[in-house]
Amino acid sequence: MKRVLIIIGAIVVLTALIFGYGAWNWYHSGLAPVSTEGEPKIVRIPEGTSVEGITRILRDEALIRDARAFKLMLRMEGLSGKLKAGAYEISGSMNGEEIARHIASGKVAMRRLTIPEGLTLEQIAQRMAEADLVDDAATFEERAVAKTVASEITMPLPKGSLEGYLFPETYDFCCDLQPDPMIIRMVQELEDRFYTPNRAEIEARGLSLHEIITLASLVEREARVDHERPLIAGVIQNRLDRGMRLQIDATVQYALPEHKGRLLFEDLKVDSPYNTYLHAGLPPGPIASPGLPALMAALRPANTDAFFYVARADGTHIFSHTFTEHQGAISRIRGR
């Protein structure tokens, strides 16, 4: 009888050991990294997502091996109630506990993005989407309106679209899928870099801030070298003062439904208030986001007697006072 009890005890102990080893192996295998290679992924945890939902997201992204092992680990490590919403950069080489602690840390992923001068709002939105900073470009465009930033900005704002008000710069953005903070940041940059330090001069310019930014956007699209920006601004100002149509191709491009490499004569007849071949004065608003040199040129246009300019092959321009001189400059450039 004693021997039977010993045998039964041994079997129980052995079974417990086997079961314990199996459970240990399952647990640790389930939390092991899924791979040792591959680029990190941006994983977004929406606000209010449950532990079950977070686990499902990680499983669907193929970042954890076993959902049950992951949830058990969360309970054992006291992390279940500490996971935070946000966008996180997670690699397949991280084990389950490392992933959980990373999400609990709240250290969201950042993306560095350069917005060059001269982009339209549509182009900026597309760059945001391509950089995986927003879900889609259309949502970014929809939110890029004055009411989105009004509570955070003190400078005068347009009534609707923020076209031209998103300052070109290199930014470190949080990958949180929320366009509003990014839009606010870019408009604040315009306020901090241009409006605030030049406020007195802007108010004495004789144009509204919106008109200055609009003029600057034309300069941005027309100039290729910085030293010519004030001259081009001076030509535009001269034509405005004289009541002449600006006749700037970039405004026609903005009015067209799609960008064209070369404008045709019929394109110059497009029915739009942005078509400065048909309408005198500035267009209703900016046609792109101007950089600081273009903004300063619009604020301080050169004192010039020129009313015309034509581009050379190298991007510089010949400036002329009369239309006859302008025609001569065109002929020289064309080799006639």
- Taking 80 as the threshold, does the pLDDT of residue 104 lie above it? yes
- Taking 60 as the threshold, does the pLDDT of residue 18 lie above it? no
pLDDT at 259: 76
Coil vs helix vs strand at 320 = strand
Q: At what angle do helices 229-242 and 292-299 cross, to 10 degrees?
A: 40
Nearest C-alpha neighbor of 309 from the set 245, 244, 248? 248
Q: CA 138 to CA 334: how far, in whole Å?
A: 42
CB 92 within 8 A of CB 134: no
Give 183's pLDDT tier (boundaries 50, 70, 90).
very high
- Taking 80 as the threshold, does the pLDDT of residue 312 lie above it? yes
pLDDT digits (tens, 9 = 90+) for 300-309: 999 999 999 9
pLDDT digits (tens, 9 = 90+) for 233-290: 999 999 999 999 999 999 999 998 887 777 878 888 888 999 999 999 999 999 999 9
Give 22's pLDDT tier (boundaries 50, 70, 90).
low
pLDDT at 138: 94
Give 2's pLDDT tier (boundaries 50, 70, 90).
low
pLDDT at 13: 57
pLDDT at 10: 58
Percent of the chain beyond pLDDT 90? 57
How many other C-beta atoms lie within 10 A of the C-beta of residue 69?
Answer: 18
Question: What is the CA angle 309-312-314, rounded to 5?
Answer: 135
Mean pLDDT of all residues in 55-75? 90
- Taking 80 as the threshold, does the pLDDT of residue 26 lie above it? no
Scored b (16 or more CB within 10 A) or e, 13-49 reads: eeeeeeeeeeeeeebeebbebbeeeeeebbbbbeeeb
Which residue bears the tokens 């300052």?
167
Beta-bridge partners for 309: 319
Scored b (16 or more CB within 10 A) or e, 151-166 reads: eebebebbeeebbbbb
pLDDT at 258: 81
- Taking 70 as the threshold, does the pLDDT of residue 193 lie above it? yes
Coil vs helix vs strand at 144 = coil
**DSSP states of 264-289 as a string?**
-GGGGG---TT-TTTS-S--SS-SS-
pLDDT at 141: 95
User: What burial class does residue 330 get, using C-beta atoms within 10 Å of its C-beta: 0-12 exposed, 13-18 middle, 19+ buried?
Assistant: middle
DSSP character for 228? G
Mean pLDDT of all residues in 61-81? 89
Q: What is the mean pLDDT of the chain?
A: 89
Mean pLDDT of all residues in 297-318? 93
User: What burial class does residue 227 get, using C-beta atoms within 10 Å of its C-beta: 0-12 exposed, 13-18 middle, 19+ buried?
Assistant: exposed
Choose the most confident range, by mean pLDDT, from 49-53, 173-177, 295-299: 295-299
Mean pLDDT of all residues in 54-63? 91
- Taking 80 as the threshold, does the pLDDT of residue 24 lie above it? no
Give 122's pLDDT tier (boundaries 50, 70, 90).
very high
The pTM score is 0.77
Q: CA 280 to CA 262: how far, in whole Å?
A: 23
CB 26 within 8 A of CB 66: yes
| CB within 8 Å of 262: residues ≥ 6 apart | none
- Taking 80 as the threshold, does the pLDDT of residue 106 lie above it? yes
* 27/68: higher pLDDT: 68
Choose the most confident range, by mean pLDDT, from 23-37, 59-73, 99-113, 216-230: 216-230
Domains of the chain (ranges, CATH numbers): 35-108 (3.30.1490.480), 110-195 (no CATH), 204-304 (no CATH)
Mean pLDDT of all residues in 160-188? 91
Mean pLDDT of all residues in 149-170? 95
| CB within 8 Å of 134: residues ≥ 6 apart | 125, 128, 140, 177, 179, 182
CB 202 within 8 A of CB 270: no
Q: CA 300 to CA 252: how far, in whole Å?
A: 25
